[in-house]
């Protein structure tokens, strides 16, 4: 009996010690950045956008037509172009998405009043008048100062149709498509570079098996010719999420015949049933979304490992050309239009994802958030003549400093954000050095309750000035509306100090911070 009593006491003492030890050794948040050993460039194309004929992305979002009372240049909204120019979007993907594999480009050229209508079977079954087609899209890209990324139709189109589209776009010679383009008012070729050969060929793009699609890619891509010294960057339809077999088969059978292999990953609760509200969520749902968003790191790592096996020189880029949050549509809106609000939670997803994409810039050469206006995790929402910028827009604004900068290797030790016995890392970070030698550090703190102190050691450089910008709000579901468009927007950040050649950052709960060091 005495022995048993002693044992119980010992166990209690042991657990007390463990608890005390645990409290005293609470993990520190430390960030070590090696400013003199960066070797990979964060392609600006990682900050790309996606625009599909879906809901009010094109019609109402970009395109209002020349006769609209909404201020426009040749039918394209001025306010939207101005806002997007500010965040320096490097490329714009079009016309889909699922829409791309049912789009026949010749229906969208020539006099607008003579263009046939079409039914958008993928998205709401609405009739479109094809008033926004090839010329309008390339005019939009020119107004934005961005590179076009066009996806051709493999699912329901022919090899000839795709080959002729490339010829129409890029050939300067004397041939039927070049002549047709000139007859439609465009003398010079556009020299489009980024070319998608189908979209989601495992699903809405034809429900193909990877072996079949690999052969289709080889066949279609053969006839997508290079004109005037403009080499197409051909992007194959790649895996969804963790479909590693798709990557394996594509790398084995197509390999370096493609320049890029796309990856689609959405941060979504699940594909059946409700996806949850974009604005009304509890902490469990918030935690779940952040946890799912972090998964993209593992996905890229594993797909990259397969690619490394076949392409150690990393000639084929991983192109994450659809990513972002996917929630239920806003009540009362067309379920086929995928119109969702955008909160501080989305901003955190954007900040975390961009930090992760930067960290894989040796393999990830481009990414496109879905989608730019009025669809899923948008930059911009419009309602007739009204427009508002989302929290995600502000993240792209803050992070634009990373575009084409050199990634700086870093080691991050972070506390966890814990809920109901589950843990995820609270902090993510990314650092880069731009062409002027200025260092930028982007940090996210997903913990909604705790401000965290991060001690940053920056090796291999001198600095004496620090400034910062922050995006945060009182509530996780803070969002901008047409009536209150400035509820959440970036502000100056004063929580970073230089002390003994180190930087100490007091990173507020649920925030995104970008620091500039000179
Ligand atoms: O972005 C919405 C849709 O999601 C795209 O059309 C498709 O490619 C993906 O399934």
Q: How far is the CA of 278 from the centre of ligand 1 (A)?
A: 18
Instruction: Supply the pLDDT for residue 126.
Output: 97
Closest ligand 1 atom, residue 266 Cα: 4
Q: Is 322 known to be catalytic?
A: yes
Instruction: Supply the pLDDT for residue 26.
Output: 53
Instruction: Supply the pLDDT for residue 501.
Output: 83
Closest ligand 1 atom, residue 122 Cα: 6
Q: How far is the CA of 234 from the centre of ligand 1 (A)?
A: 19
Query: Which residue has its alpha carbon closest to ligand 1 atom 6?
Result: 97
Instruction: Supply the pLDDT for residue 327.
Output: 98
**Nearest residue to 302 via CA among 231, 247, 366:** 247
Q: How far apart are CA 436 and CA 440, in angstroms?
A: 11
Of 161, 322, 418, 475, the active-site residue reads 322
Query: Which residue has its alpha carbon closest to ligand 1 atom 9?
Result: 97
Tokens of 228: 């005037």
Closest ligand 1 atom, residue 96 Cα: 6
Residues whose CB falls within 8 Å of the CB of residue 36, separated by 6 or more in sequence, listed in order: 459, 460, 461
User: Which residues approach ligand 1 with their CB closer than 6 A?
Assistant: 52, 96-98, 199-200, 322, 370-371, 376
Residue 44 half-sphere exposure toward CB, CA atoms < 13 A: 14
Exposed/middle/buried for residue 127 (C-beta within 10 Å: 0-12, 13-18, 19+): exposed
Regions of the chain short of the pLDDT cut 70: 1-27
Q: How far is the CA of 362 from the centre of ligand 1 (A)?
A: 26
Q: How far is the CA of 439 from the centre of ligand 1 (A)?
A: 35
Query: Which residue has its alpha carbon closest to ligand 1 atom 3?
Result: 97
Q: How far apart are CA 278 and CA 267, in angstroms?
A: 12
Q: How far is the CA of 468 from the centre of ligand 1 (A)?
A: 35
Tokens of 292: 């799912």
Q: Which of the listed residues 52, 205, 326 should we mutate to test ligand 1's pocket, taking the one with most ligand atoms within 8 A of CB?
A: 52
**Nearest residue to 217 via CA among 162, 276, 275:** 162
Closest ligand 1 atom, residue 52 Cα: 6
What pLDDT digit, counting tens, does each position of 54-79 carry? 999 999 999 999 999 999 999 999 99
Residues whose CB falls within 8 Å of the CB of residue 6, separated by 6 or more in sequence, listed in order: none
Global pTM value? 0.94
**Nearest residue to 293 via CA among 319, 321, 326, 317:** 326
Tokens of 420: 């109901």
SS3 content of the chain, % helix, strand, coil (to 5): 30, 25, 40
Closest ligand 1 atom, residue 98 Cα: 6
Q: Write out the DSSP string of 48-90.
A: EEE--SSTTSTBTTTB--TT-SS-EETTEEHHHHHHHHHTT--
Query: Which residue has its alpha carbon closest to ligand 1 atom 8?
Result: 97
Instruction: Supply the pLDDT for residue 27.
Output: 60
Q: Is 28 known to be catalytic?
A: no
Q: How far is the CA of 463 from the centre of ligand 1 (A)?
A: 44
Instruction: Supply the pLDDT for residue 309.
Output: 98
**Nearest residue to 63 via CA among 112, 14, 116:** 112
Q: How far is the CA of 127 from the centre of ligand 1 (A)?
A: 19
To 10 degrees, the CA torsion angle through 152, 157, 159, 163?
-40
Of 200, 211, 298, 436, the active-site residue reads 200
What pLDDT digit, counting tens, does each position of 455-471 carry? 999 999 999 999 999 99
């Amino acid at each position: 009996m005495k022995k048993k009593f002693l044992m119980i006491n010992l166990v209690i003492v042991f657990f007390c010690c463990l608890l005390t030890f645990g409290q005293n050794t609470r993990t520190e948040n430390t960030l070590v950045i090696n400013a003199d050993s960066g070797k990979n460039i964060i392609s600006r194309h990682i900050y790309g956008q996606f625009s599909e004929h879906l809901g009010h992305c094109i019609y109402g979002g970009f395109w209002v037509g020349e006769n609209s009372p909404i201020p426009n240049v040749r039918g394209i909204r001025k306010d939207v172009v101005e806002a997007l120019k500010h965040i320096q979007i490097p490329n714009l993907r079009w016309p889909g998405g699922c829409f791309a594999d049912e789009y026949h480009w010749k229906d969208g050229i020539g006099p607008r009043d003579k263009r046939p209508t079409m039914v958008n079977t993928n998205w709401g079954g609405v009739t479109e008048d094809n008033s926004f087609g090839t010329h309008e899209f390339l005019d939009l890209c020119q107004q934005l100062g961005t590179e076009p990324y066009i996806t051709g139709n493999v699912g329901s189109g022919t090899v000839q149709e795709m080959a002729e589209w490339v010829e129409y776009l890029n050939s300067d010679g004397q041939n039927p498509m070049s002549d047709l383009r000139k007859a439609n008012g465009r003398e010079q070729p556009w020299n489009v570079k980024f070319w998608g050969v189908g979209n989601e060929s495992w699903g809405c793009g034809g429900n193909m098996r990877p072996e079949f699609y690999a052969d289709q890619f080889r066949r279609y891509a053969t006839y997508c010719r290079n004109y005037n010294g403009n080499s197409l960057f051909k992007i194959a339809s790649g895996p969804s999420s963790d479909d590693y077999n798709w990557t394996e088969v594509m790398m084995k059978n197509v390999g370096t015949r493609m320049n890029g292999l796309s990856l689609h990953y959405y941060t979504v609760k699940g594909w059946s049933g409700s996806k949850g509200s974009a604005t009304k969520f509890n902490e469990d749902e918030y935690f779940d979304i952040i946890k799912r968003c972090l998964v993209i790191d593992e996905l890229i790592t594993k797909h990259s490992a397969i690619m490394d096996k076949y392409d150690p020189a990393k000639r084929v880029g991983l192109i994450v050309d659809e990513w972002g949050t996917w929630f239920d549509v806003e009540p009362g809106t067309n379920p086929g239009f995928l119109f969702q609000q955008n909160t501080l939670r989305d901003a955190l997803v954007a900040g975390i994802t961009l930090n992760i994409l930067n960290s894989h810039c040796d393999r990830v050469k481009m990414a496109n958030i879905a989608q730019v206006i009025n669809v899923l995790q948008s930059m911009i929402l419009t309602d007739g003549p009204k427009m508002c910028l989302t929290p995600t827009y502000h993240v792209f604004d803050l992070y634009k400093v990373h575009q084409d900068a050199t990634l700086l290797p870093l080691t991050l030790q972070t506390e966890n954000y814990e809920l109901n016995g589950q843990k995820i890392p609270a902090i993510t970070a990314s650092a880069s050095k731009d062409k002027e030698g200025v260092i930028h550090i982007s940090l996210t703190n997903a913990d909604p309750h705790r401000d965290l102190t991060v001690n940053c050691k920056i090796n291999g450089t001198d600095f004496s000035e620090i400034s910062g910008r922050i995006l945060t709000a009182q509530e996780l579901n803070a969002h901008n509306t047409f009536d209150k468009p400035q509820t959440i927007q970036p502000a100056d950040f004063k929580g970073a100090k230089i002390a003994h050649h180190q930087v100490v950052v007091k990173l507020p709960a649920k925030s995104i911070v970008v620091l500039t060091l000179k």
